[in-house]
Amino acid sequence: MKTWILAGTLGVCALLANAQSLPDSQTVVIPGGRLQTIELPAQRHFMNAETFAPFRGGYELSNGQVLHLRNIGNVGALMYARIDDQEEHRIVASGSHSFVALDRQLAIRIDLRNDGSVGGEVLMQMPAEKLASGAIMPAHVQSMGLASR
């Protein structure tokens, strides 16, 4: 009996030790789930101009800003995203309906629904800023839902 308890305890300890040895940079991506971090994909999803075409255009965000997506080229399309009149970011497909900026400033998930409506979200890296009170808001990632197209 003591042998079984000892073996079980050692097995649990081994699993915990293995879980702690994973690098911090590894994240779990749940397809269709909420975006959690802005990370470049280990392997890019190939998307040409034809498969990117349904995503081109403007999307109103839940905070009132507008996300704009465009591409250049036909094969292995060069894709770009910007919010309002801010700097444009080159993006790569990280899945069939998700994109990440190469500079890790944006992560985008767009759910094009059969009824013509759109869902999804945008993560945007926000720089540190000094508030009117004198306090400093550290750099953080802001999440915004897609309100409409």
- What pLDDT shows up at residue 42? 84
Q: What is the mean pLDDT of the chain?
A: 79
Residue 24 clears pLDDT 70, i.e. is over it: no
DSSP H or E segment with residue 15: helix 2-20
Q: What is the pLDDT of residue 62?
A: 92
Q: Could you report the per-residue pLDDT of 54-83, keeping only the tens digit for each?
A: 999 999 999 999 999 999 877 667 999 999
Q: What are the DSSP calls for 62-120, one per residue?
A: TTS-EEEEEEE-STT-EEEEEETTS--EEEEEEETTEEEETTSSEEEEEEE-TTS-EEE
The pTM for the full model equals: 0.69
User: For residue 26, is pLDDT > 90?
Assistant: no
Model pLDDT, residue 35: 58
Q: Does 8 have pLDDT greater than 60?
A: no
Report whether 79 contacts 100 (CB < 8 A).
Answer: no
- Look up tokens 């999804």; give the residue: 120
Judge whether residue 6 has pLDDT over 50. no
Whether 64 and 83 have beta carbons less than 8 Å apart is answered as no
Length of the chain counted residue by residue: 149
